[in-house]
Every structure is written in structure tokens, then in C-alpha cells.
Structure 1
Amino acid sequence: MREQMAAHALGLNLASLVFAIVYAADHDTSEALEDAVATVPHIIQAQRLLGDPDRLLHVVAAELAALQGLYDDHLTTLPGVQRLSSTLVMKNVVQDRPLPL
């Protein structure tokens, strides 16, 4: 909830999940991709997945046009990315839940 409130306070009202398929699974490509992802501030979470797709990027933007610019200028140019697909988040149902003890 804190992250969502902070994003809204900064005007980052649009959340998207971006799935990336990487053309090579070698160490150098993976490292270059992860280093590049770490430099994009609008990617607030990134996960390496087992299977297809290879990566899941949680992206925030102010509006659809800003997301499109981020997508075109940064996400499509990430090292090793063969294909991207994305979806918009309508509502966060469970977020920042404490771990079960």
C-alpha cells in the first residue's frame, strides 16, 4: 500500500506488467539485461522467471503517453530482448502483505 500511495503522490498513476522474452539465456546477456533494467527508474520491480516469458517488469508511468515513450525508448532497447508484451494493472487487490508466520 505504501508503494502505491507513493507512486500516486508522484503522479505515477499508471501501472503496467511487461513480459519480456530474451533471445539468449547466456550469462553475459542476462547480466547486461539486468544491469540495464536497474538503470530505468520507472521499472519498480523486475523478476527473472523460469519458463516463458523470461522476465517480468513492473513499470509505473504518469499516463499512457509516458508509458508508450518509456516502452519505445527504453524497454524495446534492453539488451537481449526479443519480444515484449504488456498489460495494464486495473487494481491492486493484494499488495505489500506481510509474510505469513
Structure 2
Amino acid sequence: MDLLDREILSQLQGDGRLTLTELAGRVGLSVSPCHRRLRALEHEGVITGYHAQLDPAKVGLTFEALVFVTMDSTSAATVAAFETAVVAVPHVIRAERLFGSPDYLLRIIAADLPDYQRLWDTHLATLPGVRRLESTIVMKTLVRDRGLPLTVTDGQ
């Protein structure tokens, strides 16, 4: 990946709705070479998709919590069952397996506290293999869905 590829990615992270012509103009390429590079980035899996970023509050999702999950066991079967169950919960907007303790960090979004409590009771508390769930309420989001830092620094 060269600097032009990184610039294409940077431009698309800023505005995924750019037309090919606009993108080519911004990165200093003609349309055909820009299109070839874009298709290669998609084919190689560097670009994994295009989507609209939504304001959670404007769609009625004003409650956000971080849930720390400690597992009873980290056997392959337990982990697989837990991860399959987590992926099936639409209110989990981010899930990460961690080294150390806790084992997982889940970012959960809900309409309000009663909605979160229902989600806790019906989905989170019933996840397979869980020893302990701890949650903390997000007070304020400072950075959301920031693009990856693609600038070249420190001689890299």
C-alpha cells in the first residue's frame, strides 16, 4: 500500500459518498487509475464496506453502557457459544475479546434505562459461560466512529 492508496482511504473515510470522479480529483489521479486502485483495495479486503453513520439520539437510542464480561471458562466450546450469542444481540454495537481480565468488553446501546434493564434480563444475563457481568454507563461520548489514522508519521 502506497501513499496514494492511503490518501484514497483517507478521503473515503471522510466521505464515503464521494463519486469516483470526485475521489480521483481529490487524490490527483484520473478516473481509471483511481478506479483500479479502489477496486484493488476492496478486493484485498482493506475496504470492508460502505455505510451511513447515524446519530443514535436521533433514532431514539440515548442510553449507552459498557459491559465487562468475565467468563467461567475459556474453553473453545464456551467461547464459541458465547461469541455466537453475543453476535445475535442487535443492541451490542461493539464486542471485543480482551487479554487478561475481564475477558470481553461489550458496548451496548438502548433507548433508556428500562430498555437496558430488559436487555440485561433477557439477553445479557443469559449469555452462555458467563461468570460475571459488570456494566458502567457512558456519560458522554467524545469520539465516535473516527476513521483510522492513515497519515505517515515518524518515517514510517
Picking from 27, 38, 49, the partner of 2:87 is: 38
Deviation beyond 2 Å, 4+ runs, structure 1: none
* CA deviation profile, 1:40-91 (whole Å, cap 9, x unmatched): 1111110000000000010001010110111111101101011000001111
Find the counterpart in structure 2 of residue 53 from structure 1.
102
Separation of aligned partners in 2, 1:97 and 1:60: 18
Query: Structure 1 residue 29: deviation in Å?
Result: 0.4
Picking from 127, 131, 136, the partner of 1:78 is: 127
Q: Higher strand proportion, which one?
A: 1
Q: TM (normalized to structure 2)?
A: 0.61
Query: Structure 1 residue 97: deviation in Å?
Result: 1.8
| Higher mean displacement: 89-98 or 18-27 | 89-98
Which is greater in Rg? 2
Q: Which has the higher contact order (CA 8 A, sep 6+)?
A: 1
What percentage of aligned pairs have identical amino acids? 48
Q: Higher helix proportion, which one?
A: 2
Unpaired runs of at least 5, structure 1: none
Find the counterpart in structure 1 of residue 142 from structure 2.
93
Separation of aligned partners in 1, 2:111 and 2:145: 21
Aligned residues: 98
